[in-house]
A and B are shown apart, each in its own frame.
Chain A
């Protein structure tokens, strides 16, 4: 059976393997058409095809959360999603978080103000997990914040300054 048997996935790109799949999705408010293979991971495609290198591929098994992005406003590990599965979905990465050109969002600014960034490797995932929480629950308490961050590991800060940063946004 060939990819052309599935009308939703046209073989594309002359000269590529016919398993290449065209997906349309919205990344950081821009519509994109991407060409992926069946087993390509979303994390890899965002980094390599769109140069969105804020997200990190840390553990590749859903433990560290450094690859966290929002799909339709909900945080997910982009290393545990196949790219072809996000056809038609809306994706937010750290590069799309700015409030406007060159201006950080309140949440990002709070991370800076509270010293919640040290080496920075976990930070994009942390910010997006926090944003995912705030989307559903604009005023989380500390327990809710810690619960929402359980899937994001930081080996520098000890988490306290990260929790403080999110709290400072949550109470506003």
Chain B
């Protein structure tokens, strides 16, 4: 413990390790600071604040035919505007575009969204849906690549130790050009809102057969962690995309809410709201309109 807070602004990852390797006190890494500074409004800062926004090697987006790599200090604005991300990972661009306000998106980073591990974090269901791997620089200089579920482990909780830094994410583009994906979110107002529900879907779509395969559905803000929904995914098994499938899909979403938050005050709201979210996603994925399932019409 020291009696005042120190700051460091390293220019490369070698400097980071030089600092974390020698430091004996508590460390906070800061990038956009949009969550961290609010969190410390009424909480003391750790002994050392390390700003990573001066590290050029953490601010990059690299999209190739086979993989996408993104530096941890890449902002939401950059992801939203990046042509390669918009083309290869539209749901990541969509989710980034819906985070906070223009001011927030100009600061908030993908690494920070993971490190904050907020249940309503908009990128979290997307990253889990995309099966990204997360690159870590340990405080002693070792590097590791971990699965999403091994990093984000609880509400506001990661597996990272003091002085460990998320340096980026990597994902292989193992699917072909017929991969479709979408992200949608519901909050209390249209913009600058914390998600009450969000969801990411990715699938291979055979347009001629009008069927999907290899589908992943991940919902956020329904529990401490982003939740994969296998029962919802199973609905698509061997079915053509039509209104009857949409009905079953929407009903499966309602069941998932009932299972995830039984008795919670928000259950009655979210089991209806998720139908609207599901309809938004279907429209986005298949470029056509579907009707709501019956539960939307039930009296509250």
Q: Point out residues on A near B: beta carbons under 8 Å.
A: 1-3, 5-6, 8-9, 17, 19, 21, 37-39, 41, 60-63, 65, 68, 71, 74-77, 79-82, 84-85, 87, 129, 132-133, 147-148, 150-152
Known: A1-B23, A60-B41, A150-B192. A81 touches B107 (CB 8 A): yes
**Nearest B-chain residue to A38, judged by Cβ:** B7
> Chain B at the A interface: mostly helix, strand, loop or mixed?
loop
- Nearest A residue (CB) for B8: A6
Total A-B Cβ pairs within 8 A: 117
A6 touches B107 (CB 8 A): no
Pick from A39, A133, A151: contact of B100, CB below 8 A. Answer: A151
Q: How far is the CB of B250 from chain A (nearest CB, A)?
A: 29
Contact B102 A75, beta carbon cutoff 8 Å = yes
Task: Considering the complex, give the chain B residue whose CB is closest to the CB of A67.
Answer: B103
A85 & B38 in contact (Cβ 8 Å cutoff)? no
Answer yes or no: B178 CB below 8 A from chain A CBs. Answer: no
Report A70 CB to chain B, min CB distance, Å.
10
Chain B contact residue count (CB 8 A cutoff): 38
Any chain A CB within 8 A of the CB of B265?
A: no
Smallest Cβ distance from B4 to chain A, in angstroms?
5
> Is B131 at the interface (CB under 8 A from chain A)?
no
Closest to A81 in B: B33
B86 within 8 A of A: no
B30 near A85: Cβ-Cβ < 8 Å? yes
A41-B51 contact, Cβ under 8 Å, with A3-B6, A21-B7, A151-B100: no
Please tell me which one of the listed residues B38, B49, B106 contacts residue A76 in the complex, with CB atoms under 8 A apart.
Answer: B106
Closest 3 pairs (CB-CB, A-B) = A151-B101, A38-B7, A150-B191
Which residues of the other chain, A, contact B104 by a CB distance below 8 angstroms? 62, 77, 80, 151
Chain A residues within 8 Å of B49, by CB: 38-39, 82, 84
Separation of A132 and B103 alpha carbons in the complex (Å):
10
Given contacts A39-B40, A74-B106, contact A150 B101 (CB under 8 A): yes
Closest A residue to B4 by CB, please name it.
Answer: A19
The interface residues of chain B lying within 8 Å CB-to-CB of A75 are: 102-103, 106
Chain B residues with Cβ under 8 A from A151's Cβ?
100-104, 192
Residues of B within 8 A of A41 (CB): 37
Interface string of B108-150 (1 = CB under 8 A from A): 0000000000000000000000000000000000000000000
Tell me the smallest distance from the CB of B162 to a CB of chain A, in Å: 14
Supply 9 A–B pairs (Cβ within 8 Å), ascending by A.
A61-B38, A63-B192, A77-B34, A80-B38, A81-B33, A84-B49, A85-B30, A85-B51, A151-B100
- With beta carbons under 8 angstroms apart, the residue of B19, B34, B191 that contacts A62 is B34
Please tell me if B48 contacts chain A, counting CB pairs below 8 Å.
yes
A60 / chain B contacts, CB cutoff of 8 Å: 38, 41
| A19-B5 contact in complex given A80-B33, A82-B49, C-beta closer than 8 Å | yes
Residues of chain B whose beta carbon lies under 8 Å from any beta carbon of chain A:
4-11, 19, 22-25, 30, 32-34, 37-38, 40-41, 45, 48-49, 51, 53-54, 77, 100-104, 106-107, 190-192
Q: A130 to B234, alpha carbons, bound, how many Å?
A: 47
Whether A1 and B7, one on each chain, are in contact in the complex, defined by CB atoms closer than 8 angstroms, is no
> When the two chains form their complex, are residues B51 and A17 in contact, meaning their CB atoms are under 8 A apart?
no
In the assembly, what is the distance between CA of A113 and CA of B52, in Å?
43
Kindly list 16 other residue pairs between chains A and B, CB separation below 8 angstroms, not including A8-B11, A80-B107: A1-B25, A19-B5, A19-B7, A37-B7, A38-B4, A38-B49, A39-B5, A39-B40, A60-B38, A62-B101, A65-B103, A79-B37, A81-B107, A82-B49, A82-B51, A85-B51
A1 touches B6 (CB 8 A): yes
* Chain B residues whose C-beta falls within 8 Å of the C-beta of A87 in the assembled complex: 9, 54
Shortest Cβ distance from residue B15 to the other chain A in the assembled complex, whole angstroms = 9
The interface residues of chain A lying within 8 Å CB-to-CB of B53 are: 85
Query: Do the beta carbons of B9 and A132 come within 8 Å of each other?
Result: no
Q: How far is A75 from B75 in the complex, measured between Cα atoms in Å?
A: 13
CA–CA, A92 and B45, complex, Å: 28
The residue from A19, A63, A77, A82 contacting B6, defined by CB atoms under 8 A apart: A19
Q: Can you name the residue of chain A whose Cβ is closest to the Cβ of B33?
A: A80
Q: Known contacts A62-B101, A147-B191, A150-B192; decide if A85 and B9 are in contact (CB<8 Å).
A: yes
A6-B9, A74-B77 are known contacts. Are A37 and B4 too (CB-CB below 8 A)? yes
Q: Are A80 and B34 in contact (CB under 8 A)?
A: yes
> Closest chain A residue to B106 by CB distance?
A74
